[in-house]
Amino acid sequence: MNIKQYINVYQKKMALCVKKTNQLYGDVSIPGSKSYTHRALIIASLGGSSQIRNPLVSSDTLATKKACEALGAEITDRGGDWIVRGVEGEINFRKDTIDVSNSGTTLRLFTALAALSGKHIRLLGDSSINSRPMKPLLDALSGWATIESDGGYPPLRLKNKRGAFGDEKIRIRGDVSSQFISALLIVAPLVGLEIEIIGVLKSRPYVEMTLELMNKAGMRVEVFDKGFFVEKQAYGGYDYTVPGDYSSAANILAPAAFIESDVVLRNLYQNDSQGDKKILDVLEQMGAEIKRGEDYVRIRKAESLVAVDFDAQNTPDIVLPLVAVACFAKDISFFRNIEHLRFKESNRLDACNEFSKLGASVRVLKDSVQVMGSSKIKAANMQGFDDHRVVMALAAAALNAVDGISRIDSAAMLNVSFPNYIEVMNSLGADLWLEDE
């Protein structure tokens, strides 16, 4: 099936069925990075003319595309690339309501843009979006805009109350979501802004992605120990190729570490800002055989998986795939500094408890998780919590589970980041399929 067909399939409530897989062999291409696609499209929409190659087409990125069109950008598909005619810095929304669906990135990045609007802009989404904390960003923007919210949660309604800007300064916490910082950075060239980070900036690689793309659009950003300074300037256009998504690749790399395998994953580069490429180092520490090429990664199964102690403060999206690997490792693995996993599409820290249904021993603490591997991983029925990353990570572990077929609900959410996940995995030898919940 093509991407549009997958999107239609995933409109229904589906369960992902997983049967034990004995080997994974083959050569696959990893879809474009969701995080890069969001940022590349928004930044292009604020400039002049741009071309975005290899964008990820998924429910989340299509939400950003619609939001950019509501801002006034013109976006056309040309052979799989997106051609963007931007608004050249003019914040004059053509629509006053933006439905971000399930995309927290769209919500957060567009909240800062809505704070510059001369008319009221309403941002809303599905039930998951209504649980996403926004208060630190809303507090930071309160000097710019009148803001209506449900106690700091969506839906939101914003309207600019200032008009003119210059020599602005904002202070904001860095320990809830790096997307708040990216949102402020993206609007910074439109107003001239100094951003001071309070406390620790978690998930910093995602901010580095934003800075990388701003640089490609010609922006000058001064980086300090505790923040950033961006002078007022005009976004330029660019021609940008979206690299493959290490966050998605993690869900292929993980089972390949404990199932007989020889897998090549293409469209993965070593020179971009994706922090999630750290999974290669961690899997090597656990025993997997990894080869890094200029634009590919090759992985072979570990002879014997060993436990790991990993500080995942900057790479929360690879925690669940690594927990799947830890289910088969000797001794206890520790994943630390991950309290911010509670504020994703679901409470991903608590979601780690689902691995215990397979037979692993999992202990979830305030900001960490401990996993004792087991040789008796058996098929189970598990919850995906309407979260694409939970579904894929549970499927990774279930691929090596004996005694039956595992079922994971919320399979419709695969469309958020990896619409052809099942097709790619089955091409390598996995046995995955969908059934009605």
- Active-site residues, by number, are 317
Of all helices (H) and strands (E), which one includes residue 137? helix 135-141
> Tokens standing for 240?
């940008």
Environment class of 5 (CB within 10 Å of its CB; exposed 0-12, middle 13-18, buried 19+): exposed
For the residues of 246-289, what is the DSSP string, one character each? HHHHHHHHHHHTTSEEEEEEES--SSS--GGGHHHHHHHHHT-E
C-alpha to C-alpha distance for 278 and 272, rounded to whole angstroms: 12
Residue 43 main-chain phi, psi, to 5 deg: -65, -40
Alpha-carbon distance 325 to 393, whole Å? Answer: 9
Q: Are 305 and 329 in contact (CB under 8 A)?
A: yes
Is the CA virtual torsion 114, 120, 126, 127 positive or negative? positive
Q: What letter would DSSP give residue 424?
A: H
